[in-house]
Amino acid sequence: MKILLLVCSTSRSEATSYMQAVQGVGAQVACVASPELIPEGVDVPLPAHHLSVEEALGALEEWGGKCDGVLGVGLQGGVVAAHLAAIMGLDGHTPGGVSLTANKGRLLRRLSAADIPLPEFQLVPPEEMNAKGVEDWTYPQVLQPTIRKGLNPKIRVDDPESALRLLTGKVTLSLLAPTEDCVLREQCPLESETLVLTGLTHQGHFYPLAFLDRSGVVEGRPRKETVYLAPSHQSSSVLEQGCRLAASACSTIGLDDGPVQASLRRVGEELVLLDVAGHPLAVPIARSLRFGKGNMTLEEVHVRHALRMEVDLVVREEVGATLFGHSIAQGAFGGLAGVESARSSMEVLDAGTELSSGSLLVPVEDGGIPPFWVSGRGGNREALEDGLARAAEKIRIRVL
């Protein structure tokens, strides 16, 4: 029986989803993760408290088993997985390429040198994090950390006051600059649309899987929401342009064999590449995607590819969406109420959270993680989005 080495740095629920996908294709899973992320029912638990390459190698040596493939989930999971694959002689992204995606400043400079269309970006040093420094910016801007640790925020600011509050706030400063003093800012045009591309590479060739349209706050709704909808409503020429940009980025930095996700911005008929990463799209965002005659999830597609099993990459064209509810509450997260009621809604496939109990609730506009999501399939785009919004209204956030 084949064994997949799963390296996870995101959440226990994502690790569980991938474990189920591995076991669903008739394979076993050895999971390297911090102890609290390793799911129940895993075949070979390999705890690594800080999820470093050295720790993971030590856990593997103590186990003594052999793996047929490696799959990294999350930014750090992808970095460690790439190093382990290279050491074990298995296929995967180049370690240097995945590591480069963890440093947004270096990543953008490398892509810029390859003449890949990018937004206007600039590093903001500490001496410019004051009223005088932000006064001359052209707004809106997107602020984010230069060195990323998993789910770091990309936060839009529309005026000098909100930029200064974000750069100097006690809570948000730690989110924006977790490992260094500089912050990256990108120019964000007023009239633009954001697309998310999920795909994979195999021996240097890029294969797109699905495009999703990302929308922000929906006017007229009682709560702020972020929605990912597939298939994209963009024209085939725009989507082809997005595939070329993502493929060029993967080739430039060495994302040669494994999961890929890219974010793009459309202004008029032109696209710019906002980001590229060498790990799968987050499970909640991809929850509604299905592939091939077997109705495979995105997790199963990546598992099959990592194990070199037959995989059907044809995306099912039925409309799918995931809605993320934003938090207006403050305090420590104590769980959700009304999830089962939301799941009973006709349009809903699933609902849940990626937050663990006790996590600090921070508004999304200040860099926080949305406290819950609702996903569904079927119908048309407007009806599905409305149905998910009604289901989301049934969910309440408990605060400790």
Answer whether residue 178 shows pLDDT above 50. Answer: no
- Nearest in space to 307 (alpha carbons), one of 43, 98, 92, 97: 92
Mean pLDDT of 343-353: 92
Answer whether residue 194 shows pLDDT above 60. Answer: yes
Contacts of 67 (CB under 8 A, 6+ apart): 3, 4, 5, 30, 88, 90
Structure tokens at 353: 């959270």
Cα gap 239→232, rounded to integer Å: 8
pLDDT in tens, 37-51: 999 999 999 999 999
Q: What is the pLDDT of residue 221?
A: 45
Cα gap 116→252, rounded to integer Å: 9
- Of 57-66, 72-81, 105-114, 325-334, the one with minimum mean pLDDT is 325-334
Residue that terminates a domain, selected from 168, 187, 206: 187
Sign of the dihedral defined by the CA atoms of residues 364, 36, 45, 350, in that order: negative
Contacts of 248 (CB under 8 A, 6+ apart): 114, 116
Q: What is the pLDDT of residue 188?
A: 87
Number of domains in the chain: 3
Respond yes or no on whether the N-terminal peptide bond of residue 140 is cis (omega within 30° of 0).
Answer: yes
Residue that terminates a domain, selected from 187, 209, 237: 187
- In the chain, the DSSP E strands lie at 3-8, 28-33, 44-47, 69-73, 121-124, 141-145, 155-157, 183-187, 193-202, 205-215, 225-230, 258-267, 270-277, 320-325, 331-337, 348-352, 360-361, 372-377, 396-399
| Residue 112 included in any domain | no
CATH code at position 303: 3.30.470.20
Q: What is the pLDDT of residue 220?
A: 43
CA-to-CA separations, 186 to 123, 264, 267, 272, in angstroms, rounded:
9, 13, 14, 12
**215 pLDDT tier (thresholds 50, 70, 90):** confident
Contacts of 1 (CB under 8 A, 6+ apart): 26, 27, 28
- Of 156-160, 217-221, 338-342, 374-378, the one with minimum mean pLDDT is 217-221
Q: What is the pLDDT of residue 176?
A: 56
Burial of residue 106 (CB within 10 Å: 0-12, 13-18, 19+) is middle
| Residue 74 included in any domain | yes
| Residue 31 included in any domain | yes
CATH code at position 133: 3.30.1490
pLDDT in tens, 66-75: 999 999 999 9
| Residue 110 included in any domain | no
**225 pLDDT tier (thresholds 50, 70, 90):** confident
Q: What is the pLDDT of residue 369?
A: 82
**238 pLDDT tier (thresholds 50, 70, 90):** very high
- The residue among 226 and 367 whose pLDDT is bigger is 226
3-class DSSP assignment, residue 67: coil
Q: What is the pLDDT of residue 181?
A: 64
Respond yes or no on whether the N-terminal peptide bond of residue 284 is cis (omega within 30° of 0).
Answer: no
pLDDT in tens, 145-160: 888 876 666 788 899 9
Residues 197, 178 within the same domain: no
| Residue 8 included in any domain | yes
pLDDT in tens, 248-281: 999 999 999 999 999 999 988 889 999 999 999 9
Answer whether residue 223 shows pLDDT above 70. Answer: no
**171 pLDDT tier (thresholds 50, 70, 90):** low
Task: Sort residue 130 into left (φ over 0), alpha (ψ -120 to 50) or beta.
Answer: beta
Answer whether residue 218 shows pLDDT above 80. Answer: no
pLDDT in tens, 300-310: 999 999 999 99
Contact 8, 73 (CB under 8 A): yes
Amino acid at 37: L
- The residue among 4 and 317 whose pLDDT is bigger is 4
Residue-wise DSSP of 160-218: HHHHHHHHH-HHHHHHH-SSSS-EEEEE--SS-EEEEEEEEEETTEEEEEEEEEEE-PP
Q: Strand 225-230 vs strand 69-73: parallel, antiparallel, or unpaired? A: unpaired
| Residue 20 included in any domain | yes
Contact 24, 300 (CB under 8 A): yes
- Residue 227's beta-bridge partner residues? 215, 323
Structure tokens at 136: 């001359």
Residues 74, 157 within the same domain: no
Average pLDDT, the chain: 90
Contact 56, 38 (CB under 8 A): no
Residue that terminates a domain, selected from 138, 163, 187: 187
Q: What is the pLDDT of residue 312?
A: 86
Cα gap 53→223, rounded to integer Å: 41
3-class DSSP assignment, residue 63: helix
Residues 234, 301 within the same domain: yes
Residues 183, 209 within the same domain: no
Cα gap 209→193, rounded to integer Å: 20
Amino acid at 316: R
| Residue 111 included in any domain | no
Residues 276, 317 within the same domain: yes
Q: What is the pLDDT of residue 172?
A: 56
- Owning domain of residue 263: 193-399
Mean pLDDT of 187-206: 92
CA-to-CA separations, 184 to 168, 246, 364, in angstroms, rounded:
15, 21, 18
- The residue among 167 and 296 whose pLDDT is bigger is 296
